[in-house]
């Protein structure tokens, strides 16, 4: 079965402390939003300590057009992706021998925080030495679910092409989407939560020729779930000045009621009892989202500890975040036969689950 043999993560240039972002947001919205001091408690309640942006905090003091934001998105997305790919293909923690980009058969590029045609993957291929026969699959609009969905689509590809190697590249530059003139509660919550991040994973088929560490997560199977008529749960409202965040306060409640039946059905289909799950590799959408995971699946805080740590140190980086969590588990897990479940939820409203076993 296909396997994840290497992962890399990139932290953008500017590391910001949550308290400083809160003070900046307070100064920006002072006398504009009623009961601002009460609403600003989301910064502390979320338990995030640091986040990473591709632009300095002061950049948000000036007005920026959608055009300017998107030009920056393209520039940074290409630069960070190149670094993430290079790091993934020569990561000594996972690979016994570096891999050339010329050996890569397909690129799945995942993002939702900017737009580009030709897509970012084509621009990356002009920077690195890829084969001109490399297949490209850009995925846009899956938001926080995108990292797990990218791994799932790489699994599908490698089942069909067992000798081939696929890169899953996730780039989100959420800082470029912040709207200083949006006085909605959703925008304020987004300002307290979202950050920039980049990650890359190498997924290989059964017959791929590659030298990697012995015990790696193999993808047993994947499952997708969609909720009808849920467009208002999360996503973007695209206006003249750019992306405005849609963020329902009911997300934790939806997860606690909706996720459990989905995951339990998936495990029944695979013939594996849920209590056989050793590792829960969850996209940490926020503190309340992690609590909702625990409630839905009868998990302990220990199951979500690594996801919580990634959230505290990086914020919610949308699609790459779950790969940051996966990276931590891949560095930690040593027991062959262990089961892990990689899960992320996003706009649609939708969920993606990836069942892993270390072999």
Catalytic residue numbers read: 144
**What Å distances lie between residue 171 and 13, 132, 176, 191, 227, CA to CA?**
14, 23, 12, 18, 25
Taking residue 234's Cβ as centre, other Cβ atoms within 10 Å add up to 23
Rounded to the nearest 5 percent, the helix, strand and coil shares of the chain are 40, 25, 30
Evaluate whether 320 touches 148 at the Cβ level (below 8 Å): no
**What Å distances lie between residue 281 and 46, 73, 92, CA to CA?**
19, 28, 22
Q: What angle do CA 119, 123, 129 make, to 5 degrees?
A: 135
Distance, C-alpha 12 to centroid of its chain: 14
Evaluate whether 4 touches 11 at the Cβ level (below 8 Å): no
Helices (H), the chain: 18-29, 36-39, 41-45, 66-89, 120-125, 146-160, 185-193, 251-270, 287-297, 305-314, 321-332
Give the separation between CA 164 and CA 103, rounded to whole angstroms: 9
**What Å distances lie between residue 261 and 98, 148, 252, 255, 293, CA to CA?**
42, 19, 15, 10, 12
Helix 305-314 / helix 321-332 crossing angle, nearest 10 deg: 130
Sheet-wide strand order for 135-140: 135-140, 106-111, 165-173, 196-204, 3-10, 217-226, 350-358, 339-346, 279-282
């Amino acid at each position: 079965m296909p396997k994840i043999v290497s992962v890399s993560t990139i932290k953008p240039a500017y590391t910001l402390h949550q308290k400083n972002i809160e003070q900046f947001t307070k100064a920006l919205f002072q006398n504009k939003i009623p009961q601002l001091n009460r609403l600003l408690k989301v910064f502390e309640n979320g338990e995030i300590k640091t986040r990473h942006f591709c632009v300095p905090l002061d950049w948000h003091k000036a007005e920026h057009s959608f055009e300017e934001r998107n030009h920056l998105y393209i520039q940074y997305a290409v630069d960070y992706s190149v670094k993430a790919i290079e790091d993934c293909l020569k990561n000594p923690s996972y690979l016994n021998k570096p891999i050339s980009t010329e050996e890569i058969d397909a690129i799945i590029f995942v993002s939702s925080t900017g737009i580009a045609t030709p897509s970012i993957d084509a621009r990356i291929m002009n920077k690195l030495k890829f084969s001109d026969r490399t297949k490209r699959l850009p995925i846009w609009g899956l938001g926080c679910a995108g990292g797990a969905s990218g791994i799932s689509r790489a699994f599908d590809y490698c089942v069909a092409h067992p000798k081939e190697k696929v890169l899953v590249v996730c780039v989100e530059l959420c800082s470029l989407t912040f709207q200083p003139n949006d006085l909605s509660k959703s925008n304020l919550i987004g300002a307290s939560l979202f950050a920039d991040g980049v990650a890359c994973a190498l997924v290989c088929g059964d017959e791929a020729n590659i030298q990697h560490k012995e015990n790696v997560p193999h993808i047993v199977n994947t499952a997708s779930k969609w909720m009808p008529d849920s467009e208002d749960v999360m996503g973007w409202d695209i206006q003249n000045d750019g992306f405005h965040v849609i963020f329902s306060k009911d997300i934790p409640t939806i997860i606690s009621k909706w996720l459990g039946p989905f995951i339990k059905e998936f495990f029944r289909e695979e013939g594996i009892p849920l209590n056989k799950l050793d590792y829960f590799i969850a996209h940490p959408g926020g503190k309340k989202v992690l609590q909702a995971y625990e409630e839905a699946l009868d998990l302990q805080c220990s199951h979500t500890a690594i996801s919580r740590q990634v959230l505290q140190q990086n914020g919610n980086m949308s699609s790459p975040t779950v790969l940051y969590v996966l990276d931590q588990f891949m560095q930690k897990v040593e027991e062959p036969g262990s089961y892990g479940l990689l899960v992320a939820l996003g706009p649609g409203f939708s969920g993606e689950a990836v069942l892993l076993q270390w072999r």
